[in-house]
Structure 1
Amino acid sequence: MTTPHTLLWVYELGGYPNFTPLFQRAGYQVTRVDSGRKAAGAIKRAPPTVIVAEFIVDPNFRDRTGNLETILAAVQRSGATTKVIAFYEPAEATELEKLRARFPDFTALPYPIDEARLAAEL
């Protein structure tokens, strides 16, 4: 029996299309959560094959670059070879690069999300 490919979709703010059908067509069993904290718990329980998450910068994050830092740290702690795809606002590219300095191994796709490019990254 083969292990299914799993995808954790961290959908916090939204404002873009529902990509669940795309993920399923690509062969993933999809779990959707609505916060980085819930994602970290899911990663700890069972690291997914792929994580798709929004990069959210908030000035109230005193000790973090953004929400994605929690998710990437959880992946790092898990020791899994999880692929991470982050959606980001082009205006937040500087903050994203600060995060990339600490966690270099993720793919970043700018809004508006190009569905063909997302499919190719999966």
Structure 2
Amino acid sequence: MTKTYFIAALIAASISTNAFAFADLYSGTLSVENEQLILTRCSSGSPQYRLIDQNGDTDTLIANLPEEIHNIEIKTQARVFGKYVTQPGVNSLSNEALHLLEVDRIEGVKVNASCHLQDLFG
């Protein structure tokens, strides 16, 4: 019985301490478009996601990134940890469904770096 209570306590502690304990990893390049922080994934089709913090805002995320993020000509690669959030609406950037990532943290920010094949050959 004691072992069962110990395991249950560990599970409860891990769930309650961090809402993003099971955040997904999204790799890609970052850009600012229409005052929104955008991640273009390094995968087939290069899907785009609008990045938001836990309050639904992008200003704090942008403020913590290098200034080069505002220059569309300079590629900035990063790893974004977060969760996919659905929201009704249409993405004004592409007229497709709106894809949001609620960001836990952004790591591995590299200015003048890209993971996209078209940048390698273009």
In which range does the TM-score fall when normalised by the shorter chain? under 0.3
TM-score with structure 2 setting the length: 0.24
TM-score with structure 1 setting the length: 0.24
Higher strand share: 2
Higher helix share: 1
Find the structure with the greater CA-based Rg: 2
